[in-house]
Amino acid sequence: MDSNASTSVFNEGDRVSLSEDIDTVKLLQEGHGGWTPFMENFIGQVGIVQGLTNVDDVIVKFEELGNKLWRFNPKALTKIDKFNVGDAVRILDDTEKVKRYQVNHGGWISDMTSVLGKIGTIKIAFPDGDLLVSVSGKIFLFNPLCCTKVPQSMKVGEEDDATSMMEMMEQFFNATPDFRSLLQSLHGIVDGSEGQDDQFLVGHTVKIIEDIQEVKKLQEGHGGWNDDMVSILGKTAKVKLVLPNGALLVSVSGKMCSLNPKCCRKVSHSVDDDDSDSGKFL
């Protein structure tokens, strides 16, 4: 056996979370990259493993919080389950934690209170790790840290009626005349092989333009328009997918919407354009 072979439980591409016990993490980081107060921002966020050092420290990027790579003692990290469509999950029952975890992951809405601690079913697993979950006759976007896999046998009250599920999806997505086409576009591209637009990538933060007539015009062939969309004009949103037709699937104000990219202006982004620091710990 190669004496230099890694024994780490972590692999490149794994999603991880940082321990919430700050005092313990500070101790664990001694000799493993150190600690800075900024690291507290990583609690409740999902990191992506970029690689390992020669002593099996883990190099992580938290895409919501910039381009920098961070070195961690593996004992300070927990690997997040890989979720798939159809998985049964239990929603975390700690209100304050869920509110904190939902920052940058679709946000918190008051209706979520009614499903905390309950079991639901994953309907879409997005490339950035966020999960669209059906639970108690409703559908929500959750940070994966809010969900724990449970046996399929624990599912209760699962919606078997396709019409009912379509109605729930329409309530969650800011439903448009092209809603069913949107769902067809989603099929087969939520496994991480999303399309890409020259300007926008998954994870980018955008601002939706405020000109209602311009948005109506631009939406033709890109998800369509309905009057509920007035409420999202001028607001910031997060790109969840870049669809094959170039449209952006964005999360905004607790809902999702398919938008022509020309309706959006990039505010900031968390996907690196320049990975010049990549590998500096390796």
Q: What is the CATH number of the domain that holds 207?
A: 2.30.30.30
The 10s digit of each residue's pLDDT in 31-67 is 999 999 999 999 988 999 999 999 999 999 997 777 7
* Residue 53 lies inside a defined structural domain of this protein: yes
Question: Could you give the CA distance from residue 155 to residue 177 in angstroms, rounded to a whole number?
Answer: 32
Q: Shortest CA distance to 172 belongs to which of 241, 253, 242, 238?
A: 253
Instruction: State the total domains in the chain.
Output: 3
Which of 128, 160, 192 is the last residue before a domain boundary?
160
Half-sphere exposure of 178 (CA within 13 A, CB side): 19
* Residue 260 lies inside a defined structural domain of this protein: yes
* Residue 183 and residue 114 share a domain: no
Which of 79, 113, 135 is the last residue before a domain boundary?
79
What's the Cα-to-Cα distance from 89 to each of 5, 29, 82, 83, 210, rounded to whole Å?
A: 35, 32, 12, 9, 38
* Per-residue pLDDT at 226: 82
pTM for this model (two decimals): 0.68
Q: Where are the alpha helices (DSSP H) in the chain?
A: 22-28, 95-101, 162-172, 179-186, 212-218
Share the mean pLDDT of the chain.
80
* Domain that residue 183 falls in: 177-266
pLDDT at residue 261 greater than cutoff 60 = yes
Read off the pLDDT band of 258 (50, 70, 90). Answer: confident
pLDDT at residue 1 greater than cutoff 90 = no
Please tell me what DSSP assigns to residue 182. H
Residue 223 in contact with residue 246, Cβ under 8 Å?
A: no
User: Radius of gyration (Cα) for the chain, nearest Å?
Assistant: 20
* Residue 138 and residue 108 share a domain: yes
* Residue 75 and residue 91 share a domain: no
* Residue 278 lies inside a defined structural domain of this protein: no
* Residue 31 lies inside a defined structural domain of this protein: yes
